Structure 1
Amino acid sequence: MQAEFRKDLPDQTVCALLYMFDFWALPHQLPPKGNWRSWVVMGGRGAGKTRAGSEWVRSIVEGDMPLDEGRARRVALVGETFDQVRDVMVFGDSGILACSPPDRKPEWQSTRRRLVWPNGAIAEAHSASSPEHMRGPQFDAAWVDELGCAAIDKGTNQPNKFLDPKSSESALPHYSNGQRDDYLQMQYLRAYYGFFADEENNPVSPVYGGPMVDMSRAYIWAWDARPWPDFPSNLGVWSDGGNHVTGHWLTGRTSVIPLDHVVGEICERVGLMEYDVSALHGVVRGYNLDSFDTPRAALQPLMIALGFDAIERSGVLVFRNRGDAEEIGVAAEEYVLPEGEGAVIEQIRAPEPEVVGEVRLGYVEAEGEFVARVADARFPHDGSADVTQNDLPLALTEAEAKAIAERWLAEARVARDSVSVTVPPSRPDVQAGDLARLTDAQGVETLYRVDRIEDRGARQLEAVRVERQVYTPSAAVHSVGEIRPFAVPVPVTAQFMDLPLLTGDEVPHAPHIAVTASPWPGGAAVYSSSEDSGYTLNTVVENPSRLGVLTSPLRSGQAGLWQRDVTVRVELPGAPLSSVAMLDVLNGANVAAIGDGSSDNWEIIQFANAQLVGPNTYELSELLRGQAGSDGLIPDIWPAGARFVMIDGTPQQIDLAQSARDLARHYRVGPSLRPYDDPSFRHYVEAFQGVGLRPYAPAHLRAVAEGTDLHVSWIRRTRLDGDSWASVEVPLGEDTELYEIRVIRDGALLRDLQTSSPGWTYSGAQQNSDGASGAFEIHVAQISLRFGPGLFARIEING
């Protein structure tokens, strides 16, 4: 209709039509009809709010002709800051200057912070942070911009700035590092509402009985009508979802509570009223407090996670962020000798084996689906294998959890150094919880946190080393929470496998787990415990394994040789099997495990040919049997129905402490999006030997008779780095070379001994003493000091 209307207009009229906003405006951009006093324009970015405001100001200050007076002579332009008024309302792409025709365009007088129209109308710029400036002038009308601050570092420097790659106005606030900061956004709003809640700052008018600024009608940018957490997490639907992380949205953030409020409530619930949380900052997104036995038990998870201390000062419990503590200097000449005439300063360093090499942190995802997650932090190329795992009853974003794990790891490394020093009674200013910068005899200053003071005239300080940089979060990448498709709560099939080393990169004593389900729930969680309660998250399996069964028996075969005339059929759902060249097999392709369903009885095989012979059924040929030292486990026959698992990288190791080897532990395995007490979880009780530590059976076991003596010899094999053809001899792979020899006849043990060399002579006298007449067997196994005897090689002796 608009195009049809323009078609018959002269060019000059069409040019003038560009500045007739009533013709182009969307319905929500036009002021309401009737006698109204306040008009609120609500909408998201791009809705045209700024344009609506600019055009409304023009409509009330301009007359019919450029010099004619309009309905208003003095207008107030109010924003959060003067910069915002100037950059958005005056000079913005949709600001007053951009919308005005040349003959009616006002002049911006920067020194007086105002616009002056050709007809004499004036619009003055005012900042909401300086409301006192609006008391003197009288105004006919006001255009007030919304209140709001982006959740970004130093967002209060320029509250209107936001990050959006699709917008020409995308920019960081002054001096911002671009990191997410929900706490700053919260403090910004608390400051505004706190300021105007004070009657001295916001007096009540004797004329109309209301405050100068009615905060009940203050509109904060921005609340989104789209449902949380589908917005912003569902990026396939909401293209601007990624902007939420550091944007102005309150959506998803209104449930966040200031840390000082949470700590204060815990204190008051136990009757502790003498507390001070004024110096405490941070936010709590969610805290699961199962019991309230003691305030310490309630506060400690928060203190550990968010890095703050509780310090008693003059009968008041003071809470303070560790990174904000003030430093107190103590010079070396102030130290005094403690009782016993010991060292003036005693420095202690924890031994290397106690150093933590990796921290794993369990938490609840604060956005998205609110599921259990694990954040991991480790020192790269670090020799320490010590892993610390903790589960926090807190809701965190992924970046927050990562930052906490990194801080814990750094704190543990730094706190390896501790000190004990005695200072005179003249230093009562040094108290527990303070940061003391201690100077040693060489003049080197080191920062310590005082943990304990023993006051016996002289004051003995015990402190641990700290570094302030630890409390500066790393530049972890913030992202919106993930929304996955609905997971059907179907049980998953899990198979624990205590396997030998296949690549050499595995943890030798840790078992593998293979998990599958139909349909796949998006992930499987493995929880573990020493008893059937109190489970903690052990491992999350992201990808399903290929588990199947033999549909035909597989008879015994010789290890180390291609089985060219042997085939076996397997039923295996999931990704199809494929044939590969024999050279690829020798390089590690097509590896599978066959077992009876127990955790430790698994033969490792490889195959070159895989032919599809039925639905999900394959015939495998060109086999290699007894790989990775499992030749000692080849049975006379693997029957139809035996388990078949592809070792293709999807079965993964679970966490198991070395001290838990051979100890029965409880496991619950089920969909990762469900709690472990959900009916879809299955319960297992397993104990693992640590087969990765098990020595291989010796090779080429021979016995040669010399008179009445029997000389037995064999060749050592290794489970570590034994595939190189350039080696003169395979590496030992164990702490020491040691073998166990057993002489057995008709199942009875005749002799059991150990030797440190790959050979042994069974003398005629020993044979007579043992009664080893007729047929008997000799069994030989290599011994591991950590595992014990490995698999035995066997030779029959026919007397």
Structure 2
Amino acid sequence: MQTNIAGGEGFDWFCATEADQAAQIRTPISDGAHDKPWVFRPKDLRSWWSNRHFDRPGGMESATPTAWLPQSKPIRFTELGCPAIDRGTNQPNVFYDPKSSESFVPYFSRGWRDDAIQRAYLEATYLFWGKPANNPVSTEYAGRMVEVGECAAWTWDARPYPFIPALSEVWTDGANWRLGHWLAGRLGAVSLAALVRHLCRRAGLPEARIDVSGLWGAAEGYAITALESPRASITTLARHFGFDAVESEGVIRFIMRGRAPVATIAHDDLVAGNTGGEAIELTRAQETELPQALKWQVARADEDYDAALVEASRITVDTSRIASESFPMAVPPEEAERRCRRALQEAWAGRESAVFRLPPTKLALDPADVIALDHDGRAQQFRLTAIADAEARGVEAVRQDREAYDLPPGAERPATLPRAVTFGPPEVILLDLPQLRDDIPAHQPLIAATAKPWPGALAVYRSPGEDGFELVTTVRRRANLGRLVSDLWPGPTSRFDMGNVLILDLMSGQLDSVSDLALFGDANALAIETAPGRWEIVQAGHAELIASGRYRLTRLLRGQRGTEQAMGNPTPAGARAVLLNEALTPLPIPEADLGIPFNWRIGPARQAVSSDTFTAISFTPEGEGLRPFSPVHIDQQWRRPHGLGDLTLRWTRRSRSLAADSWQGMEVPLGEEQESYEVRIMDGAALKRTLTSNAPSVVYSAAQQTADWGAELTPGDGLTVRICQLSARIGRGTARTTTLYL
């Protein structure tokens, strides 16, 4: 290859037509009368750089040169590369891309993947221009003709290997990597020659006694997994790549198998043997001693060095033996399959062996040489395996099938890699809701969190300040969050809301229509944020999927679990919504922490709390689950039948206890330490009087009426009252405000 950088095609000769190229008819490059053939030599950089330039208008050379000053500037190769395709060095500039009109393979290429040719091209180019004899020093500047250190190898991709080419759904040009110019995933490979040279040096051999020029190929990785000699390591490589080691003239030469014969040995060239006078002994091994199939295990560099199994087999043979081997090296599976097929064919061709003797005139032959042995009118190729010199040269050889060493690679096996996952801050909602389940203490708020992708678990930390965060709990299930598409107006409570329609975009999960019986069992429950920190619980009996992730919910139950006072008027489009299911996680905080503001940080459990992947929230739990529900059915009764005098206000108590839904009891459970109410007499927004009671009624006396209004109330007057149940732990419950017309 180095000799053809400043020689060969494009330097010494060219093919005038495609027919000439196919027939290898080569026309010398010349310049006729001007005798400057370098003008027409694309490869003759040295002459172009060293000589004056003369334009040739109309084919006639000008008498005056151009402004170009010879040797005035260095040459830099901005694209120095070769496709990783069979015989890619024939045309290093072309590329294969089925989607492009400029897609080509190098001429004479068979379209096979060949990483070794790409590496050899780069090594040859850099070695050639690195030699002072090939790269002269300029007389005009301090430097050589080619600035090797400034030459750019083509092409290095900033996208990470092996995700390019594996993630073809992300990058559509990933399929072109296999036969293209890409160096990512290949440049880190080690050439077989360099690897064997290194092992020989480790064994103590001097550089002068090592010849690896006959080796070809590359390995993406090689591991020495046990205490072994360099010779054992080389033997493993020889088995996999198919080469021999021969000592000749004091040098250990490593030679690939499959070479052409170096000599033809006729029957008359043989020396008669000592026994029976036979000149040659041919042996054919039994088929039962050979494998029917060969299985190799290698590693894949494009799948985190996971194991890959390749197999070669023969069909019409009288054996069922299967041989298996494992090689501690990273090799593309398609290339490993090619070598596995070569090894199997090599074993079957090598079952024929020959023992013969040659005269001293054949002293030039060495082990590993290939000869054409003409015996009984048939010329067969044999590879010499051993030579013993005495009065004649005793030779042992095995038959060679040269086609086994030029097989196509196996079928491509695309890597199956997960996408590189980057976790961002999750979307988190902290909800202070009435108690929803018996297994969750009433005072504990809930956390709903989602993220895409879901990291598996979210850690929940809290702190009263900006540091010192402590782990509170872990969220292991992804909540189902959504947003309203349109406004939701107030509706009736304690019965079905048939007038309103709730349009909801759900980020994950699904909703289905349910029966009334399932609805009364808390199915299809959502918490909708009507204002910051205020949540109405809504249930939907009918759910219709009208678009991807978008539902039309009807047959609604509004203000469930005592949240009727949280209805918006309206609740605006874009309001957050949370499905109330098992994905919600309680925050295990003590009751003593209610009312205390905390800073919360929620993020992937595998990350530190200081990571940018955490969501920061300020939240003060108020213990909404401990808040008494508002009373209902408020009415009044005069002390005297025709009005005037004391006024008795009455109502019906509700219970926040989950057991209050039972139909068996005479009265709902109290749910508080004691029964206590506060009644406020209102004049618009102004407070007139506060009354208290330990029963679901209170007397608004005539004297109090006179003190508040200047006279006793009379039938027909309107009276606005605000009534709430009191809790010993949390204070006022949810108030019910109504205007009574006396």
| TM-score normalised by the chain length of structure 1 | 0.44
| TM-score normalised by the chain length of structure 2 | 0.47
Higher Rg of the two aligned structures: 2
